[in-house]
Structure 1
Amino acid sequence: MDGKTFLKQLLPPFTEGKQEPPRDMLYVAADRPPWPTTLSTGLQHALVALMFVVYSVIAGEAIGLEAATLRDFVAIGILIMGLGTALNGLTTRFSAGHLLVNIPDPLTVGLFIAIASGFGPQAAGGGMIVLAVMILLLGRFLPLLRAWFPAEISGIALLLLGVTLVAPGIERAAGLNLSAAAAGTSIDLSAVLIASGTLGTMIGLSVWSTGRLRILAMIIGTAVGLMLAILAGAFGASQLRQVAVEPLFALPGTHYPFSPPEWQLGAMIPYLLISLVVLVDSVGCGVTIDKMTQLNWRRPDLRMIGRLLNGLGLCNLLNGLSGTMGSCISSANLGLAQISGVAARRVAVIAGLMLISLAFLPQVTTFMALMPKAVVGAILLYTASYMIVSGAELILSRLLDARRRATIGLSLVAGMAVFAVPELTDSLSPQLAPLLDSSLMVGTLCAVLLNSLFRIGASQTSTILLDGPHPADNAVRHIEEQGAYWGGRRDVFRRAEFAVSEALEELERAAVMDGPVRLRLRFDEFQLRITFEYPGKAIRFDLNPQVDLQALLEEGADESALDLTMKAVSASLIRNFADRVETDFRNGHAELRLLFEH
């Protein structure tokens, strides 16, 4: 293999098929909307992304950064956000070629704080570089790793991530200082009022509004929170003076010099584990934008998603080298693209350039750093609530058997134990504290280990002979049991049950079987293959005519016409349930194969 071929396999070049946009999308990736539309949409995306800079502010404050140092820390993060967003809009080996906006990753904010506080920002930078390398590698070998890291592990991690944000959110929303609780800290009623107004506005818009208001719920909620903070005297002339004294222009990195990264095991292992969750979240965003811009979408464009992960890995590498928080793809901006109907890649370039420009404006980053703590607390609680629900939905999206229930239950118990009984980890050494003092890390590590243990001896094939009464019922029961054993998606296995039941009824109605059916199932995380083997004649479901209900209503329709129509109905149902239908006949034995994309 020459170097050019190796490069092409390692980093596939940009390719893009012809796109047929859905009716509700005005412009898709390759389209060129008018410049007024491009500029206005790019500005909206930049403003939405800027709201998530609050996570960088939280992380910087938590590790002790103040004033110009905190401002610089935030500015470097915005600069990398802009570079990643603009890169997504290009057509290179490291570009998705879609309107995808980078933001500070809320999934890693708690981990960054724990590592940077325990080992220092240099160790957090080393861990972030490990995460970046894992994203690049896992993106190349994702198909091989899906079976070892199923959806429930990502769901556990996402749920526990939400739980870890509850304490800092409550602390800020209630005006508490939990580290000084023994000194008699009391709840600040004005902070509670500000946080309640902020959180209530966000939730109200998310629940009762539609369209653009729902997408901009965080921006509007933050604006309401700032107004309440001004009325309560928690934000006003003093903060605005601090913003005004900042220079109009400054180079990011002047006040936050970062030393070379350090490589400590206690920092690298947590980032290694969280990279799986970041990967799943990024793949989900790639699938969303792919589906959003394709009218007849069937399956994800893995090449595009691979390039997306390449670009995201580069951004996180820059975050690690600069000692800032990690980056991710913003789902809120995906929603804005859906509502506006504009998903042209040139908008991503414009939004990225705007973010890069904002990184050189210290007054903007200072304003973000001075955001009232009660408003920040409400944003954390809002994020935590959706993370917890999303994690639970991800866990329950798969069928569950005893092995998976044990994995999920024990992992959540282990993670919650660290959160609920902090005394368990008081005697840990400083090297192990960031790893085992985190409910996220303990729960996720427990899930990975238990899943690997329970996979020992697990078979991905199953066979049953349907030689008893009620073969369809027995087949459906067997598919349900195997789906839970394999942890398959509920919707896929439900479709398989309907298709198998309909196929067995049609085989019996057509009287083509000279003996019982042997049903064979094979599952590999990407596809469920169901094969009917029986002695007799083959039946072609893919050649049956379309259903003609009008012919049945005509006077004089005979029984043969009814049989033909029922056969056409069965064939139509089976073709709709299964992604592909195949038949074969050899030496007096027939096969019917139903394939379902997973």
Structure 2
Amino acid sequence: MRKPENILYGTGDKPPLQILLVLALQQMSFLGVYLVISPLFARELGLDPPQSLQLVSATLLASGLGVLLQTAKISGIGSGYFCPLQATSSTFAGLILVKTHSGLSAVFGMVGVVGLAQMAFAWLFQRLRGVLTVQVAGLAVLLIGLGLGYYGIKLVLEADAGLELQQQGLLCALTLGTMIVFNVWSSGFLRLFSAFLGLLAGFIGSYALGAIPDSDWAVFHDAPLFYLPRPMNIGWSLDHHAILPAIITGLFLALHGFGALVAAQRFNDADWKRPDLQLVKQGILAEGLTNVCNSFLNGLPLTSSGGAVSLAASTGCTSRYLAYWLAALMAGIAFMPKAIVFWQILPLPVMGSALIFLASFTALSGLQVIASRLLDNRKTLALGIGLILGVSYEPVLRPFHQASAEALKTLLFSGVSLGVFVAVVLSALFQIRNHTREQRTFDAQHSSLDEVIVFLEQQGRIWGARPEIVRRAEHATWQAFEILTEHGLLDRQDGDSDKIRLQTIFNEYTFTVILGYSGKVLPLMTHPPSHEEMLNDEGAVLQMAGYLLHRLADQVRARHDGERCELRLIFND
């Protein structure tokens, strides 16, 4: 794994202590936007203020635990990447459905089942290599970026009390402009803190414009500085009505986590080619275990934060040591109501500007992942329909909210999970009659390079191989054609022209081209013949051709079976 140029401190690097502390504050400043989700949900459940505060504290404690589990990578739990967890309002439909049928305590029993479902799907994902492809991973990252950007624009344009449109625009320009200036035109430490400096500028601007209402300041002043959270203060129970919504919610949380974890892998490896499904499994296991613990704390379900991953990448620090400081900060704030309220009073245009900043990096990274592979009609349709449904999440969701069948609402969890779910289902469906072996017979004397290129490109699109791998295969295959014909290695059969049967195999890791023919086997050399051999040995020219072919492919194998010969060219993808 090679560290990208834009990353100052990679996964295994240890930044100075003071930098880690400020970066942890920066991450907490961003994740603070999700602290408002707990009070919103508390309002939906009808909780009183002390219970609402307990809900926020429990969710923060679980988030700190999840960051540690995700990064520590102990006993097969955790991906080893910096990938914080966050609450999401998309789980509200399932949780409220359970509360309506089974009561408030069953909501937190459902959170435990959600965690168990995530862990079960983590094991399943590892076995879905054929449908959880690089392109699907790119779609997940792209949808995370688009979702962040959409939510950011929505926050910027939402009218705060007493805040005019010009003031909203000014706060957005101040916050986003500060982030851009320090990220683009500065280097070193200032770029590391570009998001934090932007949020700080936005807060100062909000204070100067009077964008924070007096009522919010009153709540901040009245909040106690310190208190002791009480786990299980609301209760815990398990009801059979909660099992199906919990399993569905666990599936879509796992799909969302898949996207965030792929983004973390992509941001940390300059040579990234495909998702490491083993690490994805370990990361989702960490999420699931966190939610199991979270259910006994009486907190909200958590999933990996694609925004936090993007923030770490955009500012140049993805170090796992940052996770330890962030976990400690989350745990400390869980005991400090005044700090919780402070993050909740930050004006929405400031937080929305931060989301727009992060969305730019994430969405373009997803596009790069998708574009790194060739696409045929099957993949184009699977990804295209998934993308359209993912970005159209709210209009798709509206009819279900108006329908009387409440259980259907849990099927539409978030734009990311909906789009990925559709793409995975369609990819699995399109596997029907999509064979991994294809072959075609060519006339060796009269076939052209264009015919070979067309065949190999068609196979590359079907299987989603990288364009550069297909280009290498085309060049090496045509060289093999010329060697077989020019050196008389092909036998004519019944006066017919020489025939070469071309077969391709792809398995996500290698692109293999097999040339089958009747004739003599090609001698393969790992070392070139010497100058003396080239002058004195007639077979040395053929040996040199075999050596050069060996240089064009990652592996070359030749075998002879009776009258049939086989030349196998293997290219690592």
- Within 1, Cα distance between the matches of 2:562 and 2:180? 65
Letter in 1 for 2:428: S
Mapped contact 2:145–2:361 kept (Cα < 8 A): yes
Q: Which position in structure 2 is the counterpart of 1:9?
A: none
Q: Does 1:86 align with 2:68?
A: yes
Among all aligned residue pairs of Structure 1 and Structure 2, give the percentage whose two residues are the same amino acid.
Answer: 25
Among candidates 209, 214, 217, match of residue 232 of structure 1: 209
Q: Which position in structure 2 is the counterpart of 1:428?
A: 403
Cα distance, 1:372 vs structure 2: 1.6
The change in CA–CA distance for 1:88 and 1:529 in structure 2 (over 3 A counts) is same
Query: Is the partner of 1:53 in helix, strand or coil?
Result: helix
Q: Which position in structure 2 is the counterpart of 1:39?
A: 17
Mapped contact 1:270–1:441 kept (Cα < 8 A): no
Write out per-residue CA displacement over residues 329-363 of structure 1, whole angstroms, 9 at most, x where no aligned residue. Answer: 653475389x56x95x6665455445433433333
Mapped contact 1:76–1:359 kept (Cα < 8 A): yes
Letter in 1 for 2:17: L
Q: Which position in structure 2 is the counterpart of 1:192?
A: 169
Cα distance, 1:68 vs structure 2: 5.5
- Within 2, Cα distance between the matches of 1:447 and 1:29? 30
Among candidates 356, 376, 380, match of residue 381 of structure 1: 356
- Within 1, Cα distance between the matches of 2:142 and 2:447? 42
Letter in 2 for 1:456: I
Query: Is the partner of 2:130 in helix, strand or coil?
Result: coil
Q: Which position in structure 2 is the counterpart of 1:463?
A: 439
User: Structure 1: 5+ residue runs without aligned partners?
Assistant: 1-18, 552-556
Mapped contact 1:127–1:268 kept (Cα < 8 A): no
Cα distance, 1:229 vs structure 2: 0.5
Among candidates 42, 49, 57, match of residue 75 of structure 1: 57
Letter in 1 for 2:505: R
User: Structure 2: 5+ residue runs without aligned partners?
Assistant: 492-497
Count of residues in Structure 1 that have an aligned counterpart in Structure 2: 550
Q: Name which of structure 1's ranges 72-81 and 227-236 shifts more when overlaid on structure 2.
A: 72-81
Letter in 2 for 1:169: G
- Within 2, Cα distance between the matches of 1:128 and 1:55? 22
Mapped contact 2:60–2:331 kept (Cα < 8 A): yes
- Within 1, Cα distance between the matches of 2:275 and 2:421? 29
The change in CA–CA distance for 1:417 and 1:362 in structure 2 (over 3 A counts) is closer
Mapped contact 2:437–2:505 kept (Cα < 8 A): yes
Q: Which position in structure 2 is the counterpart of 1:545?
A: 528
Pairing 1:95-110 to 2, within 5 Å after superposition: 95-96=77-78, 98=80, 100-105=81-86, 109-110=88-89
Root-mean-square deviation (CA, aligned residues, Å) is: 4.7
Mapped contact 2:524–2:547 kept (Cα < 8 A): no
Among candidates 78, 83, 90, match of residue 111 of structure 1: 90
Among candidates 32, 37, 55, match of residue 59 of structure 1: 37
Cα distance, 1:459 vs structure 2: 1.0
Q: Does 1:516 align with 2:488?
A: no
Mapped contact 1:49–1:102 kept (Cα < 8 A): no
Pairing 1:342-353 to 2, within 5 Å after superposition: 343=319, 348-349=323-324, 352-353=327-328
- Within 1, Cα distance between the matches of 2:143 and 2:433? 29
Cα distance, 1:93 vs structure 2: 0.3
Q: Which position in structure 2 is the counterpart of 1:452?
A: 428
Q: Does 1:501 align with 2:478?
A: yes
Q: Which position in structure 2 is the counterpart of 1:15?
A: none
Mapped contact 1:407–1:450 kept (Cα < 8 A): yes
TM norm structure 2: 0.77
The change in CA–CA distance for 1:569 and 1:490 in structure 2 (over 3 A counts) is same
Mapped contact 1:581–1:593 kept (Cα < 8 A): yes
Letter in 2 for 1:400: L
- Within 1, Cα distance between the matches of 2:396 and 2:402? 13
Pairing 1:76-475 to 2, within 5 Å after superposition: 76-88=58-70, 90=72, 92-96=74-78, 98=80, 100-105=81-86, 109-116=88-95, 129=112, 132-164=115-147, 168-176=151-159, 188-235=165-212, 242-243=219-220, 245-253=222-230, 257=234, 259-260=236-237, 263=242, 265-266=244-245, 268-286=247-265, 289=268, 291=269, 306-321=281-296, 322-328=298-304, 330-332=308-310, 335=313, 339=316, 343=319, 348-349=323-324, 352-415=327-390, 419-420=394-395, 424-425=399-400, 427-429=402-404, 430-435=406-411, 443-467=419-443, 469-475=446-452
Write out per-residue CA displacement over residues 30-58 of structure 1, whole angstroms, 9 at most, x where no aligned residue. Answer: 89x7xxx6634542452243133224224
Cα distance, 1:490 vs structure 2: 3.6
The change in CA–CA distance for 1:326 and 1:90 in structure 2 (over 3 A counts) is closer
The change in CA–CA distance for 1:412 and 1:508 in structure 2 (over 3 A counts) is same
Q: Does 1:535 align with 2:518?
A: yes
Write out per-residue CA displacement over residues 112-145 of structure 1, whole angstroms, 9 at most, x where no aligned residue. Answer: 3454566658787667555543543444454420
TM norm structure 1: 0.74
Mapped contact 1:175–1:187 kept (Cα < 8 A): no
Cα distance, 1:466 vs structure 2: 2.2
Cα distance, 1:223 vs structure 2: 1.2
Cα distance, 1:81 vs structure 2: 3.2
The change in CA–CA distance for 1:131 and 1:448 in structure 2 (over 3 A counts) is farther
- Within 1, Cα distance between the matches of 2:414 and 2:157? 23
- Within 2, Cα distance between the matches of 1:539 and 1:467? 19
- Within 1, Cα distance between the matches of 2:321 and 2:514? 47
- Within 2, Cα distance between the matches of 1:218 and 1:22? 20
Query: Is the partner of 1:272 in helix, strand or coil?
Result: helix
- Within 2, Cα distance between the matches of 1:350 and 1:431? 40
- Within 2, Cα distance between the matches of 1:59 and 1:236? 20
Cα distance, 1:543 vs structure 2: 0.5
Cα distance, 1:462 vs structure 2: 0.6
